[in-house]
Amino acid sequence: MAGSASVVTLAVRDLAVQFGGVAALGGVSFEVSPGTITSVIGPNGAGKTTAFNAITGYLRPARGEITWDGAPLTGLRPSAIARRGVVRTFQKTSVFPSLSVADNVTIGLHLRATAGFLDVVLGRRRIRDEERRLAADAEAIIAFVGLAHRRREIASALPYGEQRLVELAVALAAHPRLLLLDEPGAGMTSGEKDVVSELIRKIRGRGITVLLVEHDMRMVMGISDIVIVLNHGRVIAEGAPADIRTHPDVIRAYLGTTGDRA
Amino acid sequence: MIRLARGLGALLALTLPFWLANPYFLHVVIMAGIFGVLALSLNLLLGYTGQLSLGHAAFFGIGAYTSALLTLRLEWSFWLALPGAVALTALAGWLIGRLALKLRGAYFVLVTISFAGVISLVSVNWMELTNGPLGLPGVPAPELGPWSLRAKSAYYYLVLAGVALSYLVCARLVGSRIGRAFLALRENEPLAESVGVDVTHYLVLAAVVSAGLAGLAGGLYAHYTRFVSPEVFLFTYTVTMVVMVVAGGKGTLAGPLVGALLFTALPEALRLATSWQWQMLAYGVLLVLLVFFLPRGIVPALAAWRARRAS
């Protein structure tokens, strides 16, 4: 499998998150190897999105450690985490609704620009060059996700599947080294899911590590290098898709043979 | 078409005192300009970052008092006192921005209202500094070399320059990475954070620039009326600014200026047209009709109309 000799990029150790008295995550540990597509699966309420929120700074964990390239991410704001190359998408469609597709993606390029307050107010020439470069970058990313024909349209007016692509384009614009996708296929037709799967493979091809949460098993098994299974806030299995499919604990968690109802 | 209209507008603005000699009309236009700066300032927060400040009269008042006091007590030249007023108001904006970092929506509104309330009380009660409710008479008119800008026709050009400067600052910000960060904050804050937009930094920046511009308007007002009293903190001023921004079109560059012109001229026109009993009633009815038929404001409605005609 990929990354046998390479260094670990993202390491989560003993991560615990509490909501009031309820443990949403009770000490989860896993690692994500560079250049892979790693999927986190598990029944509803297993803590998948919670783990995402903790890694990207939207939730403060009760305990545990998250390191990225050897440095801790815990306690940083989401924008600071994005600056380190860790960018996420959201489970519910999340775009800048009343702006055009091009403007959405250009906002995503925020970290690629350098213009400060004085540069802007004084109208320095450098800024105009930078704006031209940003516009070209945005065009390229929009074309990459296949929305070139939609670039002038308002994001919220697009069909659902295309809004998810806008979201992906915005995240890619931030130049992630690690991209976390929260249910990228949710609510899509199977044709749209194939398009997204292909895009995720292309994203890995660009050297971006992908960590994703997904419910669609066909999609997960089709594109993942590694699958991590969470249940009740704990990792119950980890491995290649073929091993996961036949893992007894995984089958039990999904089918509930012990009488558990997720 | 739009360039022709712009050129014509600029020409009219530059030659206005030559064909509008009536001092009363000139006064209305000057006040419209001062409110134009205020509306541009409020629009930066309300229209672009999506945060409503209902304490904007405080920034206006701080600007007016600062510029007046610097010229009266320290005998600074107007040309130093005005930037001084802008700087101090910007500092007040920074303070409010920092205080309101974690607050949004109604809570942000409440902080700005309370801030305005506190500042207003200070202006009434700190007699030694502000002369209390009696106000500060005799604020000097600006001088430019040997000329005094006391005449309305001369002061008009000063205000016009203030409007142009404010518009330029807003236009450049809006068309840049900074303006896009403001919009991102209005549109979807968690998503903005996820791509590296430091939301709190940009909220504070918007508050600082917005307050600074309101301070500029305050300074221009003080040296025009040449009298400053706690009345500059009246809540009515803030409401007027909100009306101008919303009616003109929030989140557009031209909207606040259109709104300022319309809603400075409208009360004056109504005063000429009807008796005082009907004035406020007519104003209210017109405002309701405007919001009802053009909910997004005049400028966006015009833009939509043009787009429809073009297609």
pLDDT digits (tens, 9 = 90+) for A2-34: 444 456 589 999 999 988 888 888 888 999 999
pTM, two decimal places: 0.90
Whether A73 and A55 have beta carbons less than 8 Å apart is answered as yes
pLDDT tens per residue across all 311 residues of chain B? 778 888 898 899 888 888 888 889 999 999 999 999 999 999 999 999 999 999 899 999 999 999 999 999 999 999 999 999 999 999 999 999 988 878 888 888 999 999 999 999 999 899 888 888 888 998 898 988 888 888 888 999 999 999 999 999 999 999 999 999 999 999 999 999 999 999 999 999 999 999 999 999 999 999 999 999 998 898 889 999 999 999 999 999 999 999 999 999 988 888 888 777 888 888 889 889 998 999 899 999 998 888 888 87
From CA A211, how far away is CA A143, in angstroms rounded? 23
Query: Which chain A residues are closer than 8 Å to B165 by Cβ?
Result: none
Task: Write the DSSP string, chain B.
Answer: -HHHHHHHHHHHHHHHHHH---HHHHHHHHHHHHHHHHHHHHHIIIIII-PPPS-HHHHHHHHHHHHHHHHHTS---HHHHHHHHHHHHHHHHHHHHHHTTT--HHHHHHHHHHHHHHHHHHHHH-HHHH-GGG-EE-PPPPEETTEE--SHHHHHHHHHHHHHHHHHHHHHHHTSHHHHHHHHHHH-HHHHHHTT--HHHHHHHHHHHHHHHHHHHHHHHHHHH-EE-GGGG-HHHHHHHHHHHHHH-TTSSSHHHHHHHHHHHHHHHHHHHS-HHHHHHHHHHHHHHHHHH-TT-HHHHHHHHHHHHH-
Q: Which CATH architecture has domain A1-85+176-262?
A: 3-Layer(aba) Sandwich (3.40)
Given an 8 Å threshold on Cβ–Cβ distance, is B173 in contact with A121?
Answer: yes
Amino acid A257: pLDDT: 57
Q: How far is CA B278 from the centre of its chain?
A: 27
Task: Write the DSSP string, A142-165.
Answer: HHHTT-GGGTTSBGGGS-HHHHHH
Query: Which chain A residues are closer than 8 Å to B177 by Cβ?
Result: 110, 113, 115, 120, 134
In chain A, pLDDT over 70 holds for what percent of residues? 94
Given an 8 Å threshold on Cβ–Cβ distance, is A79 in contact with B196?
Answer: yes
From CA A144, how far away is CA A129, in angstroms rounded? 23
Q: Any idea which of A112-116, A238-242, B1-5, B205-209 has the lowest mean pLDDT?
A: B1-5
Given an 8 Å threshold on Cβ–Cβ distance, is A123 in contact with B172?
Answer: yes
Given an 8 Å threshold on Cβ–Cβ distance, is A88 in contact with B194?
Answer: yes
Query: Which chain B residues are closer than 8 Å to A134 by Cβ?
Result: 177
Nearest CA to CA, how far is A79 from chain B (Å)? 4
Most B-contacting residue of A76, A95, A110 (CB-CB within 10 A), to test interface: A110
Given an 8 Å threshold on Cβ–Cβ distance, is A107 in contact with B169?
Answer: no
Amino acid B13: pLDDT: 87
Given an 8 Å threshold on Cβ–Cβ distance, is A96 in contact with B193?
Answer: no
Whether B163 and B254 have beta carbons less than 8 Å apart is answered as no
**Nearest C-alpha in A relative to B188:** A96
Query: Which chain A residues are closer than 8 Å to B191 by Cβ?
Result: 90, 94-96, 170
17-36 of B, contacting A, C-beta below 8 A: none
In chain A, pLDDT over 90 holds for what percent of residues? 58
Nearest CA to CA, how far is A43 from chain B (Å)? 26
Q: Which CATH architecture has domain B23-310?
A: Orthogonal Bundle (1.10)
Region of residue A210 (phi > 0: left; psi between -120 and 50: alpha; otherwise: beta): beta
The H or E element spanning position A179 is strand A178-182
Over residues A40-91, the pLDDT tens digits come to 998 877 788 899 999 999 999 999 999 998 899 998 999 999 999 999 999 8
Show me where the domains of chain A are located.
1-85+176-262, 95-174
65-124 of B, contacting A, C-beta below 8 A: none
Show me where the domains of chain B are located.
23-310
